[in-house]
Homo-oligomer: A and B are copies of this chain.
């Protein structure tokens, strides 16, 4: 691990976490137990689902959380905090519990992705960094999955570092992109930190430096005879780049017993050029030479290129993946769900002027419900610890149509979440990145309906409730509205 990973990110928080913490401290509420849920409200790009990513970094963050003397001095200089509180920060460690879906889980709006249970201050202070991490990585993992789906089995690589929103976004964005399905990244720090395969060949500057394109290609082939991929659009793809690439394949590589691995086109009409280039390469006896394309691509342009019969083996995706350009905000929020009172957790609900901002209160379990073929037919919210036994038909409530009286029949369920952090320490060994990536693929290949995966008007996955959970929510909503007008 590099020092990149060892940073203390404790100060990456909204200042209100601290003003609230100091207030709770002053009011002797700091040790009250609470539960906060992380959830989001809308799938990016009008899609049918999202991919949960960033959990490993969340766990590292809470484990490393602490305030240095200079941090405390900085807070003191704000003239808002009591000395007792500042002193308390000196030995502060996160000692709460974290429940979450496994990283890579296919998730849906309004579901508790992750729940922090802990003392009020612990749970409040971690809000901002947890959200930033989950929002960023889930955004990119979800976008990556969409682009890989559009590529329909062709290789997709992340080329986005230079357009990322600073260094972390490049590095952790590459991690998330890999979870979502890219085969590799150009970003060295991500390769080093996470073991992601890296690739890279040449920029236009290589060709421009040597001035003569043939000379530049020849030098590259001599240096990397086993991995020669030539960038052919510095001057003119058809009249210069491809003829020079073919010449290098024949005159430089073949005498060494090597083949030209590929060419890359980074501008122009990629559909037209790729088809013409394919014919030129085939005619030159290079049918095994791969065609790589790049240039502001995303799932829509990739799908369009393939529908036009473009001859492309591999896509390099830059800015529109690493920024999730079409919708660069993943809107997960962190909401108080329950407060410890007399040894029990009392549910809390947030009403709102915007109806979609009403929260799902209380401690709860989240199940995924599978039919006999193993397809995920719905997710189910239950009271925490409530028995959910599908051996018999199981009555549930669709909260959007509560008058319907429906049952799951012949189904099985899986509890979607587990305990990852107990008293501030991780309880399980986290999976390798490749295992997370495989898990994404396995769910989409075997569990998630194809109708939820399409881009246009995807099927909405149901988030149902047990009758008891629904009753609890409705009762609390009624009481809260009565109290607050």
* A204 contact from B12, B136, B336, B354, Cβ within 8 A: B336
User: By the criterion CB–CB under 8 Å, are B2 and A70 in contact?
Assistant: yes
**A485 CB, min distance to chain B CBs, angstroms:** 3
Q: A168–B348 Cα gap in the complex (Å)?
A: 33
**A22 CB, min distance to chain B CBs, angstroms:** 7
Q: A220–B171 Cα gap in the complex (Å)?
A: 40
A277 within 8 A of B: no
| Residues in A297-329 with C-beta less than 8 Å from chain B | 319-320, 323-325, 328-329
User: By the criterion CB–CB under 8 Å, are B14 and A187 in contact?
Assistant: yes
Q: Which residue of B lies closest to A270 (CB)?
A: B353
**A372 CB, min distance to chain B CBs, angstroms:** 41
A86 within 8 A of B: no
Residues of B within 8 A of A170 (CB): 12, 128, 132
Given the interface pairs A135-B162, A161-B14, A168-B166, the reply to whether A351 lies near B235 with Cβ below 8 Å is yes
Residues of B within 8 A of A32 (CB): 209
A467 within 8 A of B: no
A465 within 8 A of B: no
User: By the criterion CB–CB under 8 Å, are B19 and A224 in contact?
Assistant: yes
User: By the criterion CB–CB under 8 Å, are B167 and A12 in contact?
Assistant: yes
A13 within 8 A of B: yes
Copies in the complex: 2
Residues of B within 8 A of A447 (CB): none
**A73 CB, min distance to chain B CBs, angstroms:** 10
User: By the criterion CB–CB under 8 Å, are B2 and A4 in contact?
Assistant: no
Residues of B within 8 A of A223 (CB): 22-23, 26-27
Residues of B within 8 A of A219 (CB): 23, 27
**A161, A208, A320, A480 pick with most chain B CB within 10 angstroms:** A208
Residues of B within 8 A of A323 (CB): 165, 323, 328-329
Residues of B within 8 A of A161 (CB): 12-14, 128, 132
Residues of B within 8 A of A4 (CB): 7, 11
Residues of B within 8 A of A186 (CB): 14-16
Residues of B within 8 A of A16 (CB): 186, 200-203
* A268 contact from B202, B268, B354, Cβ within 8 A: B354
Using an 8 Å CB-CB cutoff, how does the interface string of A193-214 with B read, 1 for contact, 0 for none?
0000011111111101101110
* A353 contact from B192, B198, B267, Cβ within 8 A: B267
User: By the criterion CB–CB under 8 Å, are A23 and B206 in contact?
Assistant: yes
**A102 CB, min distance to chain B CBs, angstroms:** 21
**A457 CB, min distance to chain B CBs, angstroms:** 23
Q: A335–B220 Cα gap in the complex (Å)?
A: 19
Q: A473–B267 Cα gap in the complex (Å)?
A: 21
* A166 contact from B173, B209, B329, Cβ within 8 A: B173
Using an 8 Å CB-CB cutoff, how does the interface string of A19-46 with B read, 1 for contact, 0 for none?
1101110110100101010000000000
Residues of B within 8 A of A71 (CB): 2, 192
| Residues in A377-411 with C-beta less than 8 Å from chain B | none
A367 within 8 A of B: no
| Residues in A124-143 with C-beta less than 8 Å from chain B | 124, 127-129, 131-133, 135-137, 139
A416 within 8 A of B: no
User: By the criterion CB–CB under 8 Å, are A3 and B13 in contact?
Assistant: no
User: By the criterion CB–CB under 8 Å, are A2 and B11 in contact?
Assistant: yes
A189 within 8 A of B: yes
User: By the criterion CB–CB under 8 Å, are A198 and B136 in contact?
Assistant: no
Residues of B within 8 A of A159 (CB): 14
A227 within 8 A of B: yes
User: Which of A236-244, A279-287, A426-434 makes up part of the contact surface?
Assistant: A236-244
A-B contact pairs, 13 of them (CB 8 A): A11-B189, A13-B161, A20-B202, A23-B223, A26-B223, A74-B188, A132-B163, A135-B163, A162-B334, A163-B331, A166-B173, A267-B354, A328-B328
Task: List 9 additional contacts besides A9-B167, A165-B328, A166-B166; criterion CB under 8 Å.
Answer: A7-B167, A12-B189, A135-B162, A136-B165, A163-B330, A166-B173, A234-B350, A234-B351, A319-B331
A residues apposed to B, CB below 8 Å: 2-4, 6-9, 11-20, 22-24, 26-27, 29, 32, 34, 36, 68, 70-71, 74, 78, 80, 120, 124, 127-129, 131-133, 135-137, 139, 159, 161-173, 186-189, 191-192, 198-206, 208-209, 211-213, 219-220, 223-224, 227, 233-237, 239-240, 267-269, 273, 319-320, 323-325, 328-331, 334-336, 339, 348-354, 357, 480-481, 483-485
